Structures are given as C-alpha cells and as structure tokens.
Amino acid sequence: MKRLTLSLSLVLGLLIPFSPFANAVIPGTKCSKAGIQQVYKGKIYTCIKLGKKLYWNNGAKYQIVKPTPTPTPTPSGISIPPGGNVAPGTYPGGSGPKSSPSPTPTPTPTPTPSTSTNQHPNTTKPVVNLSLKSGAGKYTITYDVQKDSGHYDVVVFESLTGQFAGEQYIVYVGTSKIIEILTGFPTKFEARWVLVRTRDQWSDHNISESKAGPVKPTSADIDTSTPPCNPGQVCPGPELPPAPGPVLCRIGTAPWGKCP
C-alpha cells in the first residue's frame, strides 16, 4: 500500500507542474522567470534570458511519462503436494527429472520523454532587400520575403556590437515587413546591427538569417547652444568658414552658406 501511495505521489508530482490546461504560450513573448517551463498544445516551453529580457522559446514536443510497474519476481522453489509426499527427483540432489526454476523477470525500463526531432525539411529562405533607416530616437526595418519561403514568422535580434555571439536580444516577433524599433537610454543614440531570422512552425532548426547595419538613431532635440547670427555676420561655431571667398554665415552647427 505504501509503495502504491508513493508511486501515485510521484506521478502527480510529474503532472502538476506541466498542466495541459496552462495559459496560452506564444513564442517570443515575455515571461516572468528564466528557467520556468510550461506545457501548451503538446509542447513544453522554457523561459529563456536574452540580454536583459525574458522570452518564451519555440518549445519542444512533450510526452507525459506514465511509470510502468515492475513485476514482482516469483521465487523459484518446490511445490509440495498435500500430505508431504514428494516424487523422487523433484528436489535438488535427487534422481530423475528435476524441476526447472522459474526465470527471473527482467525489469521493464521506464520510458523517457521524447525529444523534438526535425522531421520536416527546412523550406525557409532569408529575407531580401533588408534595409535600416535612422530616425529620431528610433529606426525602421524594411525587407522583402522570397515567395517560395516556407517560413511562419520572423524574429528580429538587435546587437550593439554586430557579433551576434550571445549579446543580442529580441526586439520583434511577427510577420510585418515594416518594423519601427524605438530605442532607449543609456544606448538610445548608439549604433546597432540587426539580424532577421525566418523560422517555420515545426522546428527551431528550420531557420534562415539575414543581417544589416549599423544604423544610428538621431536626437530629436534642437541644438540651442549656439545663438543664431544676424544678417551679414559670421556665426560663431566650432570651426571657421572656408576662405578665401565671400562672407558666409551659419546657424548653430548647420553647414556654412550665404548670409540671409
């Protein structure tokens, strides 16, 4: 009875953390804690950390393991009929035919959860005409999809080094071909590189990638450090106007030109 209770506790312990009625999980969306797992529609999803952000991965096929009880071995021995009369040769050391001992059963190994295998060919194609356009505190990504690409969606990674060796982080997941990325401090105006990954819905291995960059967001603030100049005057600035030639003017850090 104790063994049965222990077995039921172990089975319940395996089933409860991965309830099939858990909330919906969308790969690439935010999650709460790195390392937690959740089962949804036949897949087990893991919360991973990319840079400073947490996201759900693409998931792997999951199968609930049902423990197989191991049969209790039947001890070999001699069956003595009622009355104690044992036929000659039916016990060790006697003559005549001997009884064969019962074979010891081999314990059945416990099945392990099946791992995701790539049973579908990779029909994804990298995006083409990938372009980055700088904006005020943001940048815009545009690209085209090859018509024979069998991808499901795209994942956009951003890197401040262009190496994409683990320092990158996800900034977009979806199917839009025009993506606006807002930048923030302390790296709001730093140059960055972009990697666009196309992927299918079957396997994390079925991917294609394209890279672009760098792109450097600009500042939307107006420079008021240099006052505007009066007509016919040379405006103060970090550099002198080109010479020789007519008197030139500039406003702030704008290029030198004719005076108003």
Segment 101-123 mean pLDDT: 69
Segment 126-134 mean pLDDT: 95
Domain extents in the chain: 16-69+111-116, 128-215
The per-residue pLDDT for range 163-182, each reduced to its tens digit, is 999 999 999 999 999 999 99
Q: What pLDDT, on a 0 to 100 scale, did the predictor assign at position 6?
A: 42
Class of residue 88 by CB neighbours under 10 A (exposed 0-12, middle 13-18, buried 19+): exposed
**Eight-class DSSP state of 169:** E
d(CA 25, CA 41): 9
Which residues neighbour 242 within 8 Å (Cβ) at sequence distance 6 or greater?
248, 256
Name the region of 143 (left: φ>0; alpha: ψ -120 to 50; beta: rest): beta
Q: Which residues make beta-bridge pairs with 158?
A: 169, 194
Segment 34-56 mean pLDDT: 86
The per-residue pLDDT for range 5-24, each reduced to its tens digit, is 444 444 444 443 444 445 78
Fold held by 128-215: Immunoglobulin-like (2.60.40)
Backbone angles phi, psi at 13, to 5 degrees: -65, -35
Backbone angles phi, psi at 7, to 5 degrees: -65, -45
Lookup result for tokens 């700088």: 134
Distance of CA 205 to the CA centre of its chain: 11
d(CA 48, CA 109): 32
Residue 156 contacts residue 180 (beta carbons within 8 Å): no
Q: How confident is the model at residue 27 (pLDDT cuts 50, 70, 90)?
A: confident
Residue 257 contacts residue 249 (beta carbons within 8 Å): yes
Q: How confident is the model at residue 248 (pLDDT cuts 50, 70, 90)?
A: low
What Cα–Cα distance (Å) separates residue 156 from each residue in 213, 222, 225? 13, 31, 38
Q: Where are the alpha helices (DSSP H) in the chain?
A: 2-15
